[in-house]
Amino acid sequence: MNELETTGILLVAVNSLIIGLSFAGSRKTMLSGAPFGGDFVEFYTAGKILNTFGADRLYDFQLQADLSRIYLPSGLSIPYVTPPFVAILFSPLAYLPLWLAFLIWILISIALYLAAIKLMLRLVDLPPRMTFLVCLGFPPFFMLVLAGGQISAIGCFMLALWIYLMKKGKKTSSGCCPGINAL
């Protein structure tokens, strides 16, 4: 193992430790003070609204605040202002307890991110182990996607798929990727 791989492993380990310490506490905030799973709570709440109250109440900010209050620190509200199709995506997860839904979302996000890296590795001759370590050690991935529950792993995968299909000459298929991502 060379020095760069060691650094990559340390970066992944430190990021994992920070996330792990945030998970271990019973607090509703991470060590940084940001709400734990804040973006995911927003999407989960939107899914709950669709499941329970219907689409016409999706952008009822008072209802959103009332439902998300039990998951967020006192006085904090994260309104759902994302397009309705995202709420549809999270609707099945909203039938589960928050912790289980969040865990499943983290696993989905990791799978999408790893798939994006794998697609790019098929196009460029880079050392796979080092590439995965660098990408997985990227702090915004840990802090925003894994700890915050952001949906950017979907965009990352769609962008990688678009580039991959374009490089392989599959222009019609590749043209669908930005369209799906823009939904």
**pTM of the full predicted structure?**
0.80
pLDDT at 2: 78
For residue 155, what are its two tokens?
């965009």
Q: Dihedral of the CA atoms 118, 120, 125, 130 (nearest 10)?
A: -60
Of 66, 70, 98, the C-alpha closest to 80 is: 66
Digit-coded pLDDT (tens) for 88-104: 999 999 999 988 998 89
Instruction: Say how far apart CA 88 and CA 78 lie, in whole Å.
Output: 18
Residue 56 is given by DSSP the state G
For residue 66, what are its two tokens?
């009332």
For residue 180, what are its two tokens?
């799906």
| 3-state DSSP helix/strand/coil % of the chain, to nearest 5 | 70, 0, 30
Digit-coded pLDDT (tens) for 101-136: 988 998 999 999 989 889 988 888 877 777 777 777
Digit-coded pLDDT (tens) for 40-85: 889 999 999 999 999 999 999 999 999 988 877 777 778 899 899 9
What amino acid occupies position 5? E
